Amino acid sequence: MSTKLKNIKLTRRAFSYPYVIFLMLFVVIPLVLILVNAFMDGDKTLTLDNFRIFFTEKSSLIVLGNSILVGIVTTIICLLLGYPLAYILSKYNSGRILVLLYVLPMWVNFLIRTLATKSIFVAMGIELGMGTVLFGMVYNYLPFMILPLHTTISSIDKSLIEAAQDLGADRTQVLTKTVMPLSLSGIISGITMVFIPTISTFAISQLLSNGTIFLFGDSIQMKFEQGLYGVGSIMSLVMLIFVLISNFLMNRFNRGTTGRTLW
């Protein structure tokens, strides 16, 4: 028995097997099932009616447009709030600890955080609607903007900033012409980490609007609850394609800006 154990070699490939199994069970197989259901009707026969229903259903297209709009607005607000904060924290030695304080709420389940936020709004007498939904989105995803920005800005060589100051640049010029170009990779990473999950999120909009505002993730959940698995699968595929396209464009832009910055 001992000789057999000695013959077993723990290679990198062996350590990857659990991850591959997990990926197959919880990522690949569900995606295959969604793809199959997209071409099935209630009688389990092949059909393209699910595509026709979705693309001719005006309400679903409106919800998709609203989700993209909410994602864009949330990303812009997170960037406007997160960049100055990350820039200020990068100047202090205790900045990493302060960033950790912003990330700590993410360890709590987002439904609990959202329910707590709703309770605060109700206690303050604030009417639930689009404003509270946007607040909930920013509250939940702002740390995902701060973390990559702080990491990128903190890694900038301080000698470059000193060189800009020696050449006569004031604080505004140092920020706009030195720090911001060198932190573009962090900006793009933050935009990707906020925009992509925002457009596909669910529950936050329902809870913080009392069910008056539905985003695309909420609509997908509702379709599956109603037993419309085919239409729900089509909507899931549309969201997946949109996420992949967004991620691809962000990566292309990131490579292009990195090349120009280095040049």
* Mean pLDDT calculated for residue range 61-88: 92
User: For position 9, what pLDDT does the model report?
Assistant: 62
pLDDT band at residue 254, thresholds of 50, 70 and 90? low
In the three-class reduction of DSSP (H, G, I as helix; E, B as strand; rest coil), residue 40 is classed as strand
Among positive and negative, which fits the CA dihedral 40, 43, 46, 50? negative
Other C-beta atoms closer than 10 Å to the C-beta of 137 total 26
Quick: pLDDT tens for 107-137. Answer: 888 888 899 999 999 999 999 999 999 999 9
Report the domain count for the chain: 2
137 shares a domain with 253: yes
The percent of residues in the chain predicted with pLDDT above 90, rounded, is: 22
Within a domain: residue 44? Answer: no
Within a domain: residue 48? Answer: no
10 shares a domain with 108: no
Quick: pLDDT tens for 1-29. Answer: 555 545 556 677 777 888 889 989 988 99
Which CATH number is 103's domain given? Answer: 1.10.3720.10
* Mean pLDDT calculated for residue range 82-103: 83
Q: How far apart are CA 133 and CA 204, in angstroms?
A: 7
Residue 69 to residues 46, 65, 108, 144, 246, Cα–Cα distance (Å): 34, 6, 27, 19, 14
129 shares a domain with 246: yes
pLDDT, greater one: 159 or 259? 159
Range of the domain at 32: 1-38
122 shares a domain with 4: no
Within a domain: residue 113? Answer: yes
Within a domain: residue 189? Answer: yes
Within a domain: residue 80? Answer: yes
* Mean pLDDT calculated for residue range 179-190: 89
Q: How far apart are CA 261 and CA 160, in angstroms?
A: 13
Within a domain: residue 47? Answer: no
Q: Which residues of 177-212 are buried (b: 16+ CB within 10 A; e: fewer)?
A: ebbeebbbbbbbbbbbbbbbbbbbbbbbbbbbbeee
165 shares a domain with 206: yes
Within a domain: residue 43? Answer: no
Q: Is the pTM of this model over 0.95?
A: no
Within a domain: residue 200? Answer: yes
Q: How far apart are CA 166 and CA 209, in angstroms?
A: 53
121 shares a domain with 13: no
Q: How far apart are CA 256 and CA 236, in angstroms?
A: 30
In the three-class reduction of DSSP (H, G, I as helix; E, B as strand; rest coil), residue 46 is classed as strand
13 shares a domain with 106: no
User: For position 261, what pLDDT does the model report?
Assistant: 47
Average pLDDT, the chain: 84
Q: How far apart are CA 199 and CA 83, in angstroms?
A: 21
Residue in the structure block whose two tokens are 């995803």: 141
106 shares a domain with 33: no
105 shares a domain with 9: no
135 shares a domain with 18: no
59 shares a domain with 33: no
CA 3 to the chain's CA centroid: 49
65 shares a domain with 191: yes
Residue 104 to residues 140, 154, 263, Cα–Cα distance (Å): 11, 20, 38
